[in-house]
Amino acid sequence: MRLFIAITFNQETRKKIHTVQQRLIQRATRVSPVPPEQFHLTLVFLGEIDKQQLSPVKKVIAETDFSPMKLLFDHVGRFQRKSGDIWWLGTAEHDTLNSLRAHLVSQLVQRELLVNKTAFTPHVTLARHVLTEEAVLPCDLLTTGFSTVITSISLIHSANIAGKTTYTEIFRKTP
């Protein structure tokens, strides 16, 4: 099973993220947009894990204490790739979010459920394989930042079904 722990968003927040995404799509000559129902902020990517590890992962999430937190989306960025860039919407520096992620990573590593401790750039992917003819300035895509309140973290199963990526929430933790 291919799994990740993420923050998902309510309809209002997905709508605001979608607005930013639409501005990018209008400026792209090639783009693979993320479907709005799949918008999320990955806290920890677990990758392929065995089904018997599912219960311990759920336990780590269930035992993680956190309070609702306000996230501010305040910038747009991209990861450059030869096949086209990955454009994303980023959050302002947030100590509570960073601490939440660090706690999850620590607990997963301690239980030998995670070995990949990559750097954390909190973001929501807007689109992949993006090519543009003209330079796109991030400030053209996000004219005003916006915030949302996070009230849950989710364990999500990522699967490729008939060539299409699907995400299924299999566990949710609320404060």
CATH architecture of 2-173: Alpha-Beta Complex (3.90)
> For this structure, is 75 an active site residue?
no
- Distance linking the first and last C-alpha atoms of the chain: 26
Distance (Å, rounded) from C-alpha 113 to C-alpha 23? 39
Of 18, 40, 129, 157, the catalytic one is 40
> For this structure, is 129 an active site residue?
no
**Residues in the chain where the model's pLDDT stays below 70:** 115
Contact 33, 51 (CB under 8 A): no
- Beta bridge mates, 166: 159
- Answering whether pTM is above 0.85, one says yes
Domain limits, the chain: 2-173
pLDDT in tens, 14-24: 999 999 999 99
The percent of residues in the chain predicted with pLDDT above 70, rounded, is 99
Reduced to 3 states, what is the DSSP secondary structure of residue 62? helix
What is the predicted pLDDT for the residue at 21?
Answer: 98
Of 18, 94, 103, 123, the catalytic one is 123
What is the predicted pLDDT for the residue at 71?
Answer: 97
pLDDT in tens, 73-109: 999 999 999 999 999 999 999 999 999 999 999 999 9
